[in-house]
Structures are given as structure tokens and as C-alpha cells.
Structure 1
Amino acid sequence: MPGKIVDRYDHVPVTKEDLDWAELVTLDLSLFEQPGGKEQLVKQLEHAVQHVGFFYVKGFNIAQEEVDRQFALGREFYALPLEEKLKFHNSNDLVNGEYNGYRPAGHRIMGNGIKDNVQVYNIPKFDGFHQRQQPPVISDHIEEIEAFSRKCHTEVVEKLLRLFAILLELPSEDQLVRDHQYDVKGEDHLRYMHYAARSIEDNKKVGGLYSAGHTDLGSITLLFRQPVAALQILNSDGEWKWVRPQDGTITINTCDALTALTGGYIKSSIHRVHTPPADQAHVDRLGVLYFARPNNHVVLDPIKDSPVLTRLGLTQNAFTELGQHLTTEQWVKVRQSQQQRRNKDIKISEEGKFTYGKGDLDIIPGLKAKMYD
């Protein structure tokens, strides 16, 4: 029996507000196979990953129609009654660092008694190690979702990993790709993410934020163009800047695992989700993201055969300084356990400064999560 026909997804108009937009470089991945193209892209990439950790890519061989289909599927999932979505939620799993499936809004306290307004549905990569029951709106289109997930990996993630390898002067252009193989057990996932619009009063109580400043835990995050302005990045001058939704691009940010592997050479980007501007503040915000992480067995020690890291003396990271040599699987479990832990009531000042409860930010002994006001 054929699945439900999913209507086309129409994006809302972009904001007309005059916002303080970040100036980010755009890498054209269509240059990747052209003579001298990789070298040109690496030059663009070098400044971005050392100073901001954010950039755009275009020319990535995924049609806008394919992207919009994922937005449409996300819309259909979030339109389900809550009781249907909750069939794919397990609060005990979240406590234990298992994050695939559904997480309802209100799982954690944002601050000052206001619960978070975000729903998340994570679909693990199709490596054969993450068999899960899916709701019909997902299972009826699972082949299409898998094709999209694999394209994210081959058309974007792998190309960027090869550029990083060139930047690090690694012996093989494929070295990082080998540590991020799609069909090897790992924690990559596709995410549909839904932020519900809040009242002006509630937004004021949480400093005008949907999520506080943070870094992602993996290697690379792909954020497909989302016209509701809300994403902000912390630039190298310590200023929060809005990220402009640009047609035909994916916003990329580099993350903690890649920072660990490079001894801090590649910056883990700091970002937050702000209340949208006035002309969009009433609109729910739907996102489609892909999170790439090293394979589970990869030890997150600084890479030893990078001449760049050797010249700069980047031989330690936040884990090894504590005598820890965490695999990706171990890191994901402890970090996700901290992120999903039901927290105490965080206090937020009128200036938007956060005060966390004891233990809220503990990951492992000696290492706390960093959050940014």
C-alpha cells in the first residue's frame, strides 16, 4: 500500500529586518574536481576554520527539491499528534546518552522556570548498526531519506574532510575520510528540528534565546538553508552576529571532535539560537541538519602525522591533558548524557547571563561543558 503523499514544502519569506549579519566565506564545491580547485578551496577554508568555524558551501550536487522534500517530511512528522510522536521517545535513553528518535519540547529547563521550546527527531545513518522503528511518515519514505543521508556524506562531508586533510598536510588526502566511513559503525544522523514560537514575555525571561551559546560535539554539522533568522555565531572579536540564510547554500560548522583531532587548530564554532526578529517571531522554525562524526572506534587524540600540527606543537587536547584517550563512542555517550540530563533551574539575568546549577555542566571528572552568554 503506497504511503501518504507529502505536499510540497514552501519556505516562509526571509526577514526584512536590518540585522548585524556575519561575513562568512562561501566554498564552491563544484571547483573540487577542477584543476587547482582543491587548493583554492583550502585557502578559503583555512581562515574560516581557525577563526570562526563557520562557512557556507554551494555547488554540492544536492538539488533544492531534494532538500525541500526533507523539510516536508519534517513538517509532516511534527504535525503528528503528540501521543503518536511520544511512541518514539524514551526518557531513560536520553539519560544514558542515546539520542536517536524523538525528544519532545520541555525536556529541559531553559532558565528562570521556562522550559525549552525545541522538538528533535534524529534518524541515525544507515550503517546497519542502528535499527529502529520509525513512524509511518518516515518509514514510508525511508529509501528517499537514506539516499539523502548518504548524499550529505559523500557530496559534502567527504569533500570537506579531504580539504581538511590537505590543510593539515596529511600523508593521504583520504586519511580523515577513512575515519568517517558511512558504512562503518558511527553516530552520524539526520535531524528534523522544530522550534515553537514563544510569547514576548517568555522570551524576555530567557534572555531572548531559544538555546544558549554552545559548540557541537562531532566533526562537521550541515545546516540546510532555513529562512527564519535565528542562528547567531560568536566571532573572533567576541561579538554575536546573525547568520544570513543564503539561497543554494548549506551552512557548515566545525565541531569538538575535529578540534580534538587537530589539537585546537580547527576551531569548534560557538553558536546559539536567538529569538527570530520581529517580523518572524511568530513563526515556528523548522530545521534540517546532518551531523557527521568520526567512526565509533576512532580515538580522539591529536593527529600525529600532520606536519602542520607538529610545527605548531599541537600535541594535546582537552581530553589528553586529563590523561583521557576517548573514542568517539565514549565521547558521544558522556557528552550526550550531559546534554540530555534533566537540569536544575538555570538562572538568567536581565542581561542574558546564565548561572548553572551544580553538576549541570559536568561531562567527565575535570571536564565541564562550555556555555556562552
Structure 2
Amino acid sequence: MPGKILEKYEHVPVTKEDLDWAELITLDLSLYEQPGGKEELVKQLDHAVRNVGFFYVKNFNISQDEVDQQFALGREFYGLPLEEKLKYHNQTDLESGEYNGYRPAGHRILGNGIRDNVQVYNIPKFDGYHRRQQPPVLANSIKEIEAFSRKCHDEVVVKLLRLFAILLELPDEDQLVKDHQYDVKGEDHLRYMHYAARSVEENEKVGDLYSPGHTDLGSITLLFRQPVCALQILNSQGKWKWVKPQDGTITINTCDALTALTGGLIKSSVHRVHAPPPDQAHVDRLGVLYFARPNNHVVLDPIANSPVLQRLGLTSNAFTELGQHLTTEQWVKVRQTQQQRKTREAKVTKDGKYNYEQKDLEIIPGLHATIHN
């Protein structure tokens, strides 16, 4: 049955500011089923994933109405009173690495007494292993949410994984797909994310950043187009560039697990969330994202049967060099626990550099998270 009919989500106008935009490729997934189409897409993808880890996709068989319905659901959830949202938050669970459900804003002090301004609501994939009570505003549309979650996987994630398999010259085009099956236990999730606008004075105290430079921990992140500019990427020349909201696209970034599986060939993209430009600085920012990760049992060692990785000598990664052979489940647990750990606030310099105590960044002995300044 269809979910509750909500008032249509209206996107705010795009910025008119002249920003320093990143030059990113756009993969046209309508080529995917055409003769030679996958090979053509791989050629386009090769440079992006080796150097930046960011690109757009278009023609992905998810309608704008379907996307806007998810934005409307996010809007309805964040419109609830705080005490209602807090029913779906558990601080103890969060600090032990359980990230599904609600995380209120202000969970962390960024620096100079300024707390973070982001609310997060994560809905785990519908694989039968993550049963959770949802607030009525979402429960009323849960079948629709599941259909959207599965479309993110089937129409985008699966196709990209096949392109990566071709890039790696794997003998089976579905090898990576088999490690990312939707109905096998895993940590994929859909996210509604809300950044509240801050004052100029508050932004200045934290280097005009909502979130400092970081990488994501999974395989692929899907960010559905929304017009409040804030996302910036670190390009191959070490320069921060704004990511332009392109109509009819999803912004894709590759992440830590995929980097581990490819011995560093596929770059885990470095990105941050900047305060929006002046003509959007007063606007709250709502995002809809999908995070794809390998199934929980997958060991994050470099893929042994890739001729490309063998030729390049990419046979180790940050885990194996420490004698660790982490499964996805273990990696997500230790990384999420580190991310949600109560830390001292960073020392933030006037030019926006974040400096934390090393112990606050430790994931496992010998491996520390990196804050990209």
C-alpha cells in the first residue's frame, strides 16, 4: 500500500554565488544496458575513483517524485517535537557503535564551545536483521521507504559494483555484488540528515564548517540532489572545491571499505560540510542519503583475484599492515564507536584546522582516524 500522502516537498532556490566548483564526471546509467555501455562507463569512472572518489550519476530509474517523497518524510520527522524524536535515541547504544535511529544535534562540541548542528535519523536496510520501531510519521510509509531503499541498492549500488568489478578485471562481473547482497546481513542504511543554520559569529568560531574533512566508512555513499550548497571535496591537487547540485543526479562518493578491498586503488573520498554561501546561510539543510557497505561477514582484505591489483602490487591495506583481517561488522563497530566516543573539543584555528587529541582518534591500536584540514 502507498504511504501517507504528504505535502509536496519544495526545494529552496539554488545559490547565485560564484563558487569554486569541483569538476566531476557524470555517469549516464542509461548506457549501462547498451552494447559496450558498461565498458564506456568504466573508462569514465577510472580517473574519478583513482583520483577524487566523487562523481555524479544520472538516469538511475528513481523518479524525482520518489526522491522528493523521501525529502518530505525527512521534513515531517524533523518537524516533530524534540521529546518525540528522543524516543528513538539511545545514548548508550550510540556510544557502543549502534548508529541506527535518532541522533540529536549537539552530541559533540566541535570547538570553542560550539556544538554540532546536525540531527541524523538512520533507517537500516530491510534485510530482516535490524527490526526497529519507527515513529508513526515514518511507520505509516514504511513500505514506501523500503521500496526506495531497495531501489537505491538495485538501480545504483549494484550497477556501480559491476563497473568496479570490470575496472578490477575480476573474472566474475558479479563478484562485488555477491559481497553486497541486500537480503544478507549488513550495515547499509538510509539517512535523513538535518543541518540547522547557524549565525555568522558561531560559524566563525568553528572555521565556517559544519563538519571537518573526513571519509565515509563503507563502500559507496549516495547523496540525493538538494540545493543548499555545503558539500566540499578535497581534489587531487589538495584544494577544497564546492560540489554543485546538478539537476536529476545523485552525487556518489567511494569510501573506506572499498579502498581496503582494492588496496588503495579506489580512493576513499575526502569531503567536508562547509557553512552555506551567504545567500543560503539562513536556510536549514535537509539531506537524503544511502550508505552501502559490504555484507557483515566480508573480510576487508585486498581482493586477491584482481589482475589489476596484482600488477600494481596493491596486496595490502591499512588493516593487513597491522596484522588485522577485519570483517565489515568488526570495522563498522570499531569505527562507529570511535566516531561517537565522547571527546574533548578540538582546538580550532582561525583558518579552520581541527586538532584533536590522538587518543580521541584511535580506532584500533595503530590505526587512527584522520581529520583532513
Instruction: State if a TM-score over 0.5 links the two structures.
Output: yes
Aligned residue for 1:83? 83
Mark the runs of 5 or more structure 2 residues left unpaired by the alignment: none
TM superposition shift of 1:357: 2.4
Q: What is the DSSP-based 3-state SS (H/G/I as helix, E as strand, rest coil) of the residue aligned with 2:164?
A: helix
Q: For 1:32 and 1:354, locate their aligned partners in 2 and report how far apart those are by CA, in whole Å.
A: 42
Which letter does structure 1 place at the counterpart of 2:123?
I
Aligned residue for 1:256? 256
> Is the Cα–Cα contact under 8 Å of residues 52 and 267 in structure 1 kept in the other structure?
yes
Q: For 1:159 and 1:224, locate their aligned partners in 2 and report how far apart those are by CA, in whole Å.
A: 17
Aligned residue for 2:40? 40
- The percent identity for this pair of structures is 81
Which letter does structure 2 place at the counterpart of 1:348?
V
Aligned residue for 1:222? 222
Which letter does structure 2 place at the counterpart of 1:61?
N
Runs in 1 of length 4+ with deviation above 2 angstroms?
2-5
Which letter does structure 2 place at the counterpart of 1:12?
V
Q: For 1:289 and 1:195, locate their aligned partners in 2 and report how far apart those are by CA, in whole Å.
A: 14
> Is the Cα–Cα contact under 8 Å of residues 259 and 267 in structure 2 kept in the other structure?
yes
> Is the Cα–Cα contact under 8 Å of residues 3 and 143 in structure 2 kept in the other structure?
no
Which letter does structure 2 place at the counterpart of 1:227?
P
> Is the Cα–Cα contact under 8 Å of residues 179 and 298 in structure 1 kept in the other structure?
yes
Which letter does structure 1 place at the counterpart of 2:325?
H
Q: Under a length normalisation based on structure 1, what TM-score does the superposition of the two structures give?
A: 0.99
Q: Deviations over 1:111-147 (max 9, x none)?
A: 1111000000000000000000000011000000000
Q: Deviations over 1:213-265 (max 9, x none)?
A: 00000000000001000000000000000000000000000000000000000
> Is the Cα–Cα contact under 8 Å of residues 3 and 137 in structure 1 kept in the other structure?
no
Q: For 2:273 and 2:185, locate their aligned partners in 1 and report how far apart those are by CA, in whole Å.
A: 30
TM superposition shift of 1:22: 0.2
Q: Deviations over 1:276-317 (max 9, x none)?
A: 000000000000000000000000000000000000000000
Which letter does structure 1 place at the counterpart of 2:336?
Q
Please, which moves more after superposition, 339-348 or 34-43? 339-348
Which letter does structure 1 place at the counterpart of 2:316?
Q
Aligned residue for 2:164? 164
Q: What is the DSSP-based 3-state SS (H/G/I as helix, E as strand, rest coil) of the residue aligned with 1:123?
A: strand
Q: For 1:100 and 1:281, locate their aligned partners in 2 and report how far apart those are by CA, in whole Å.
A: 29
TM superposition shift of 1:358: 4.2
RMSD, matched Cα: 1.1
TM superposition shift of 1:3: 7.1
Which letter does structure 2 place at the counterpart of 1:23?
E
TM superposition shift of 1:209: 0.2
Change (3 A) 1:173 1:3: closer
Q: For 2:259 and 2:128, locate their aligned partners in 1 and report how far apart those are by CA, in whole Å.
A: 28
Mapping 1:345-360, distance limit 5 Å: 345-360=345-360
Which letter does structure 2 place at the counterpart of 1:137?
V
TM superposition shift of 1:6: 1.4
Q: Under a length normalisation based on structure 2, what TM-score does the superposition of the two structures give?
A: 0.99
Aligned residue for 1:133? 133
Aligned residue for 1:235? 235
TM superposition shift of 1:110: 1.2
Aligned residue for 1:22? 22
Which letter does structure 1 place at the counterpart of 2:57?
V
Mark the runs of 5 or more structure 1 residues left unpaired by the alignment: none
* Equivalenced residues, count: 373
Which letter does structure 2 place at the counterpart of 1:287?
G
Q: For 2:316 and 2:5, locate their aligned partners in 1 and report how far apart those are by CA, in whole Å.
A: 52
Which letter does structure 1 place at the counterpart of 2:77?
F
Aligned residue for 2:117? 117
